[in-house]
């Protein structure tokens, strides 16, 4: 196709909007089916993915056909996340208004490094920052950076800590790097999330230099086991253990760490939202004493993916850490989002975060977060009535389930996944294999929980029949 024909064709598509109507119909078809269909794609659907194995096309194709292929072969090979029976990892559903806002945001296609590249994004980031600080009750000086997820938010929090501690030691880490640098200590609980360890590695601290602190039977740092801290230490705490959902005892630990002038970072990827629930906020008591926090919108809050937030009490430390030169740091009247993130070009992820919080309000956030907890409690209760062992205190949204031995647990989990009524992953909890349930979606109803529990029971029956025959 000649070049100007291509341009004409695309102009036509923008004006006529047929392909957008087409994809809207496909999206609605997907939404209706995926609420009831298998949570995990069938083997046949996965087999059919080989249609995508081809070389880059020589010639320009047809938009409608591209979209047809995507829906026909792509949609059946998705994991049904928008339904109520996906309990793997710690994911999150999607609030309808956030999804709708995302569609508009897609048309906006904003790039968001600076105020001048997108005034609306600058405004919504400013507002979302203020709301998050209020909701989590963080210090007034706190600033937020809108990043891709907690992995990146943790990295930014630790980069700020690194900058600040080295600055106090009269060492410009951005300029001089680690060679001949003074030593910084990293102290973390043995159950710190893998992405925390990754951030430590990426920032050049070295994983082997982490001073590991023993945890109790819920995975919480044991206060008495924390080594003597000093002002050159970064202490890593967590709000929401990725397996058990437990929270470190922030009040006492932070008091002690603050006295030592250590930097405290809290990984609250999904758990920080407990602060938004009247009945659960006891879990986050004391978080305001930390220096930096990382949290996701895309988990507990059910925003679309690509929504992580770094919060830092010390603006100068965060901004300096994320810039290559100090002189670059000029604060305008308006917010320039790139000062608070490692990236320059970014999509306007704050749009959906804002829409979600604007819609839910404090009451809605409370209802959402507490609802996830209630469904988790229901899961634990019903499963234990059927003779499954629940290995954690269900304080938040996580449930750890075991059968009578590891072999049975693993076989049951495999069967649950094959039945596809719901989807859970496996994990290791101290010396035991576990089936790990994470209730993360607003869409999960009491009936979804019961239906999933019955699938657990059926799975266990089927493997015992197989074992006995």
Ligand X SMILES: *Cc1c(COP(=O)(O)O)cnc(C)c1O
Residue 230's alpha-carbon distances to 104, 212, 337, in angstroms, are 49, 16, 33
* Shorter beta-carbon distance to ligand X: residue 76 or 268: 268
Q: What is the nearest approach in angstroms of ligand X to the Cβ of residue 91?
A: 9
* Shorter beta-carbon distance to ligand X: residue 267 or 352: 267
Q: What is the nearest approach in angstroms of ligand X to the Cβ of residue 177?
A: 26
Q: What is the nearest approach in angstroms of ligand X to the Cβ of residue 307?
A: 8
What is d(CA 114, CA 313) in angstroms, rounded to the nearest whole number? 22
* Shorter beta-carbon distance to ligand X: residue 267 or 382: 267
Q: What is the nearest approach in angstroms of ligand X to the Cβ of residue 457?
A: 28
Q: What is the nearest approach in angstroms of ligand X to the Cβ of residue 13?
A: 34
Q: What is the nearest approach in angstroms of ligand X to the Cβ of residue 351?
A: 18
What is d(CA 350, CA 105) in angstroms, rounded to the nearest whole number? 10
Structure tokens at 72: 């026909």
What is d(CA 83, CA 37) in angstroms, rounded to the nearest whole number? 9
Residue 299, burial from CB neighbour count under 10 angstroms (0-12, 13-18, 19+): buried
* Interface residues toward ligand X, by CB under 6 A: 90, 149-151, 193, 195, 238, 240, 242, 267, 269-270, 296, 308
Q: What is the nearest approach in angstroms of ligand X to the Cβ of residue 46?
A: 23
* Shorter beta-carbon distance to ligand X: residue 277 or 320: 277
3-state SS, the chain, equals CCHHHHHHHHHHHHHHCHHHHHHHHHHHHHHHHHHHCCCCCCHHHHHHHHHHCCCCCCCCCCHHHHHHHHHHHHHHHCCCCCCCCECCCCCCCCCHHHHHHHHHHHHHCCCCCCHHHCHHHHHHHHHHHHHHHHHHCCCCCCEEEEECCHHHHHHHHHHHHHHHHHHHCCCCHHHHCCCCCCCCEEEEECCCCHHHHHHHHHCCCCHHHEEEECECCCCCECHHHCCCCCCCEEEEEEECCCCCCCECCHHHHHHHHHHCCCEEEEECCCHHHHHHCCCCHHHHCCHHHCCEEEEECCCCCCCCCCCEEEEECCHHHHHHHHCCCHHHCCCCCCCCHHHHCCCCCCCCCHHHHHHHHHHHHHHHHHHHHHHHHHHHHHHHHHHHHCCCEECCCCCCCEEEEECCCHHHHHHHHHHHHHHCCCECEEEEECCEEEEEEECCCCCCCHHHHHHHHHHHHHHHHHHHHHHHC
* Shorter beta-carbon distance to ligand X: residue 145 or 308: 308
Residue least distant from ligand X (Cβ): 149
* Shorter beta-carbon distance to ligand X: residue 193 or 349: 193
What is d(CA 331, CA 128) in angstroms, rounded to the nearest whole number? 19
Q: Are 193 and 242 in contact (CB under 8 A)?
A: yes
* Shorter beta-carbon distance to ligand X: residue 298 or 313: 298
Q: What is the nearest approach in angstroms of ligand X to the Cβ of residue 267?
A: 5
Q: What is the nearest approach in angstroms of ligand X to the Cβ of residue 355?
A: 19
Q: What is the nearest approach in angstroms of ligand X to the Cβ of residue 191?
A: 9
Q: Are 292 and 157 in contact (CB under 8 A)?
A: yes
Q: What is the nearest approach in angstroms of ligand X to the Cβ of residue 269?
A: 3
Q: What is the nearest approach in angstroms of ligand X to the Cβ of residue 211?
A: 20
* Shorter beta-carbon distance to ligand X: residue 90 or 365: 90
* Shorter beta-carbon distance to ligand X: residue 80 or 151: 151
* Shorter beta-carbon distance to ligand X: residue 153 or 184: 153
* Shorter beta-carbon distance to ligand X: residue 216 or 306: 306
* Shorter beta-carbon distance to ligand X: residue 239 or 463: 239
């Amino acid at each position: 196709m000649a070049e100007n024909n291509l341009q004409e064709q695309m102009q036509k598509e923008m004006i006529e909007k047929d392909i957008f109507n087409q994809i809207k119909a496909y999206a609605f078809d997907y939404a209706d089916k995926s609420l009831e269909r298998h949570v995990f794609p069938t083997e046949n659907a996965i087999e059919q993915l080989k249609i995508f194995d081809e070389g880059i096309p020589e010639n320009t194709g047809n938009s409608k056909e591209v979209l047809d292929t995507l829906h026909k072969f792509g949609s059946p090979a998705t994991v049904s996340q928008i339904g109520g029976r996906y309990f793997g990892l710690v994911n999150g559903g999607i609030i309808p208004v956030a999804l709708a806002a995302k569609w508009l945001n897609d048309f906006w296609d904003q790039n968001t490094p600076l105020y001048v590249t997108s005034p609306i994004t600058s405004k919504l980031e400013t507002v979302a920052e203020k709301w998050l600080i209020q909701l989590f009750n963080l210090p007034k000086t706190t600033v937020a950076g809108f990043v891709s997820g907690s992995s990146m938010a943790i990295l930014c929090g630790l980069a700020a800590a690194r900058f600040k501690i080295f600055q106090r030691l009269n060492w410009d880490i951005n300029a001089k790097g680690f060679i001949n640098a003074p030593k910084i200590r990293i102290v973390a609980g043995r159950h710190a999330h893998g992405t925390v360890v990754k951030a430590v590695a990426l920032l050049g601290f070295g994983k082997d230099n982490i001073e590991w602190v023993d945890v109790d039977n819920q995975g919480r740092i044991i206060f008495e086991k924390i080594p003597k801290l000093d002002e050159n230490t970064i202490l890593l705490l967590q709000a929401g253990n990725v397996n058990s959902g437990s929270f470190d005892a922030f009040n006492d630990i932070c008091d002690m760490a603050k006295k030592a002038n250590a930097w405290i970072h809290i990984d609250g990827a999904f758990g920080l939202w407990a602060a938004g629930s009247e009945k659960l906020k006891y879990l986050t008591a004391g978080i305001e004493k930390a220096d930096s926090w990382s949290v996701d919108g895309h988990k507990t809050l059910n925003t679309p993916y690509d929504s992580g937030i770094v919060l830092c009490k010390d603006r100068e430390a965060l901004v300096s850490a994320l810039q290559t030169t100090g002189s670059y740091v000029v604060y305008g009247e308006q917010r320039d989002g790139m000062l608070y993130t490692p990236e320059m070009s970014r999509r306007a992820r704050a749009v959906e975060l804002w829409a979600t919080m604007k819609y839910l309000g404090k009451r809605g956030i409370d209802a959402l977060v507490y609802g996830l907890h209630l469904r988790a409690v229901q899961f634990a209760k019903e499963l234990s009535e059927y003779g499954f062992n629940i290995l954690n205190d269900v304080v938040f949204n996580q449930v750890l389930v075991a059968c009578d031995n590891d072999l049975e647990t693993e076989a049951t989990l495999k069967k649950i996944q094959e039945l596809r009524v719901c989807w859970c992953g496996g994990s290791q909890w101290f010396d035991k294999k576990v089936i790990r349930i994470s209730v993360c979606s607003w869409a999960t109803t009491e009936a979804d929980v019961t239906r999933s529990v019955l699938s657990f029971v059926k799975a266990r029956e089927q493997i015992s029949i197989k074992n006995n025959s």
